[in-house]
Structure 1
Amino acid sequence: MAAPIVAGAAALVLSKEPKLTNEQVTYRLASTADDLGARGKDTSYGAGRVNVANALKYRLLSTPVVSQLTDKDKAIRIQYKEAFKGKVIITGKTKVEKQLSSDRTFNQLINIPPQKGDTIVSIKLVDEKGNESCLSSEG
């Protein structure tokens, strides 16, 4: 029963933003769904109940450009080509969150703990309205 509902929701999202990839539409529907049952994704309810209104309000932010990392680096440079107010979330060996605000483009150096050579570090922007960028990763 859920398949035609999800397909219709995906079609509405794509009609609003036709350049989204399949992965971006899937992420949008899952991240804006109403969580049911156990917190987060679970075997009974999956990602939850599709919330088309939330999915259509959501806006995918541009992916930030990040500097290349080595295991000796203690900071990461993040560049963003739009005005932004929200937080940057950096996950790797540990999680770092930092509030950022800029009326135009920014080029920010953010301190992070040194990472092991095989660690994948992901960077995501989340604005005040809950809109997110796709993950940008360095490994």
Structure 2
Amino acid sequence: MASARRLVIGIGNPLRGDDGVGGLLAEQVGGRSVQQLTPELAAELAELEAVLFIDAWLAPAGAGPELIAIAPANGATGSSTESHRLEPAQLLAISQALYGRAPALHLLRVPATAFGHGTVLSPELQAALPAARALLGQWLGGHA
């Protein structure tokens, strides 16, 4: 789901089992998929009002999907060894620092258990998909 003011971005590798759930859910609502967050996304974020990132989460047993509001990280822009990979709060901080604005940002974390090679989602993740889709629908409804 993308418009001039909001965007859904799925994060993860679709060839690593459950890690591909972000892209799967984002693409189902017209959003897009990236394998990782990079500084280049900051310019695009600065033009938006709201962004939802969807990502697989190595959660404790029994955990369900979570929708979390994200605030900019205070001056954090990644370590020198991993400056090409960012967390959502770091990307938000870069957008704010470089462009003077950042969107409202939420993260939908979907519990995942299997990250091996392949495109098949684990039974545990498949069981969590209805709850994840419900949270995605809530976010979309709140940002229509």
Normalised to the residue count of structure 2, the TM-score between the two structures is 0.25
**Which structure is higher in strand share?**
1
**Which structure is higher in helix share?**
2
Normalised to the residue count of structure 1, the TM-score between the two structures is 0.26
The structure, 1 or 2, with the larger RCO (C-alpha pairs under 8 Å, 6+ apart) is 2
Computing the radius of gyration from Cα coordinates, the structure with the larger value is 1
